């Protein structure tokens, strides 16, 4: 749920990057941090292990700008993708407004993608949320792999109805990084406008 | 499920600000913050003598996440949560009190005071702020309106930050 702070004239949204381990969630945030102008971003915080695997979360605050006197801000989070960090993933989903699901194009990770999406649905239910009710986009990452699965095959597994906006990406080269974030941000803002 | 939540506004906001200032004065703490449990800063106060604080966004996010993680640890042992969360370093310490279901009170202090003093005054402030937040939950919050011009403006800002629609 978005937080509207009338006293500070701020609207705050929480967007979570979800997906299997090593799919590129942290890479997305690092690229966003590198490419967004200094005045629009805050400090990036990473709670990671010594080998740079996400332990709890990465965090990056972004300022979209001021509209009708309200500063509009997005707090971006990643979750740890490794299976055994599920408790952390549940905590990060608290109060989520939008989700970018980062899928891995490697054939060996197709099942991990599907399991991570199932895990996302289960963890959202613990917060009384359903994925179908939340602004949600799919980023199909690592399209530069020689053996990358066809996009249609990945979508067939993750979004068989073809209703979720999907974006191809090579996050490590900053390709397809802003597009899913912009897409989910627009959906979150539209949802707020519809509700008020 | 996406609903706006309005936590602090109007006269209650000013009263909570006074409680935070009072806490700083009495406890000789550096900073006092009301943070929602999702990690957003709702209100903050700084002692006049205190150095500039670190990024409040980072601080609020880490405090809220840490509180959630501690609650999960307590649940492993069948408890609802830890009544108080204290962290003390060589120079700086933090003390966190729950403010009902949605918010937390954070006091940051240093060697100018003692943990006991901070705990006593933070607990007193927390009682008052809990009462303010509970009253707000019972009242009708202001209803923000986001019309077509708001949507157009946000679309332009998104284009400005992330590039135009078809780029």
CATH number at residue A69: 3.40.50.300
pLDDT of chain B, 167 residues: tens digit per residue: 334 454 677 888 899 999 999 999 999 999 999 998 889 999 999 999 999 999 999 999 999 999 999 998 999 999 988 878 999 999 999 999 999 888 999 999 999 999 999 999 999 999 999 999 888 877 766 666 777 888 889 999 999 999 885 54
Q: Where residue A196 falls among pLDDT bands split at 50, 70, 90?
A: low
- Whether B59 and B53 have beta carbons less than 8 Å apart is answered as yes
Chain B environment of A72 (Cβ under 8 Å) = 154, 157
Are B157 and A135 inside 8 Å of each other by CB?
Answer: no
pLDDT digits (tens, 9 = 90+) for A83-120: 888 989 999 999 999 999 999 999 999 999 999 999 99
Boundaries of domain holding A180: 3-195
pLDDT digits (tens, 9 = 90+) for A29-61: 999 999 999 999 999 998 888 788 888 899 999
Average pLDDT on A154-175 reads 97
Sign for the CA dihedral angle at A188, A189, A193, B2 comes to positive
pLDDT of A49: 83
Chain A environment of B153 (Cβ under 8 Å) = 67-68
pLDDT of B4: 43
Q: Are strands A54-67 and A70-78 parallel, antiparallel or unpaired?
A: antiparallel
CATH class of B10-162: alpha beta
The pLDDT of residue A174 is above 70: yes
Give the integer Cα–Cα distance in Å for B70 and B61: 14
pLDDT of B2: 37
Q: Where are the domains of chain B?
A: 10-162
Q: Round the average pLDDT of chain A to a whole number and report it.
A: 93
- How many residues would you count in chain B? 167
- Whether A180 and A100 have beta carbons less than 8 Å apart is answered as yes
Stated pTM of the model: 0.90
Are B68 and A59 inside 8 Å of each other by CB?
Answer: no
> Which has more pLDDT, B12 or A148?
A148
Which residues, in sequence order, are CB contacts of A135 under 8 Å at separation 6+?
A97, A98, A99, A184, A187, A188, A190, A191, B2
Are B5 and A182 inside 8 Å of each other by CB?
Answer: no
Chain B environment of A185 (Cβ under 8 Å) = 158, 162
Are B38 and A36 inside 8 Å of each other by CB?
Answer: no
Are B9 and A193 inside 8 Å of each other by CB?
Answer: no
Number of domains in chain A: 1
Q: Are strands B92-99 and A10-18 parallel, antiparallel or unpaired?
A: unpaired
Give the integer Cα–Cα distance in Å for B44 and B17: 8
* Burial category of B49 from C-beta neighbours within 10 Å (exposed 0-12, middle 13-18, buried 19 and up): exposed
Please identify which residue in the block is written with the tokens 């006197």: A69
Q: Where residue A15 falls among pLDDT bands split at 50, 70, 90?
A: very high
> Quick one: closest CA in A to B159, which residue?
A182
Strand stretches in chain A, DSSP E: 3-5, 10-18, 45-48, 54-67, 70-78, 98-104, 136-141, 166-168
Longest dimension (CA), chain B: 59
Q: Which long-range contacts (CB under 8 A, 24 or more apart) does A38-43 make?
A: A39/A63, A40/A64, A40/A65, A40/B161, A42/B55, A42/B57, A42/B58, A43/B55, A43/B57, A43/B58
């Amino acid at each position: 749920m978005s937080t509207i702070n009338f006293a500070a004239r701020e609207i705050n949204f929480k967007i979570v990057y979800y997906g299997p381990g090593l799919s590129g969630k942290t890479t997305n945030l690092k690229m966003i941090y590198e490419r967004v102008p200094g005045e629009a971003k805050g400090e990036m915080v990473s709670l990671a292990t010594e080998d740079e695997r996400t332990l709890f979360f990465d965090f990056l605050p972004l300022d979209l700008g001021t509209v009708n006197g309200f500063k509009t801000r997005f707090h971006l989070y990643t979750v740890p993708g490794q299976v055994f960090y599920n408790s952390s993933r549940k905590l990060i989903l608290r109060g989520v407004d939008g989700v970018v699901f980062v899928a891995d194009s490697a054939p060996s990770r197709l099942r991990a993608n599907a399991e991570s999406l199932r895990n996302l649905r289960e963890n959202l239910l613990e917060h009384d949320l359903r994925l179908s009710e939340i602004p949600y986009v799919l980023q199909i990452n690592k399209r530069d792999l020689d053996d990358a699965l066809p996009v249609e095959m990945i979508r067939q597994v993750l979004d068989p109805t073809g209703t979720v906006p999907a974006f191809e990406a090579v996050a490590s080269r900053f390709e397809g990084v802003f597009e899913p974030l912009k897409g989910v941000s627009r959906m979150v803002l539209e949802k707020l406008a519809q509700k008020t | 499920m996406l609903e706006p939540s309005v936590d602090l506004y109007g006269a209650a906001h000013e009263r909570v600000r006074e409680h935070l200032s009072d806490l700083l004065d009495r406890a000789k703490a550096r900073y006092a913050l009301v943070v929602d449990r999702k990690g957003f800063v709702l209100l903050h106060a700084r002692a006049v003598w205190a150095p500039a604080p670190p990024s409040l966004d980072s601080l609020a996010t880490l405090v809220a996440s840490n509180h959630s993680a501690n609650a999960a640890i307590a649940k492993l042992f069948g408890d609802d949560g830890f009544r108080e969360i204290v962290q003390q370093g060589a120079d700086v310490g933090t003390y966190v009190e729950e403010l009902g279901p949605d918010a937390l009170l954070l006091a940051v202090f240093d060697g100018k005071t003692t943990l006991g003093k901070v705990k006593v005054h933070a607990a007193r402030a927390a009682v008052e702020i809990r009462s303010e937040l509970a009253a707000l939950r019972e009242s009708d919050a202001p209803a923000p309106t986001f019309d077509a011009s708001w949507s157009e403006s946000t679309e332009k800002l998104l284009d400005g930050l992330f590039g135009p629609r078809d780029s």
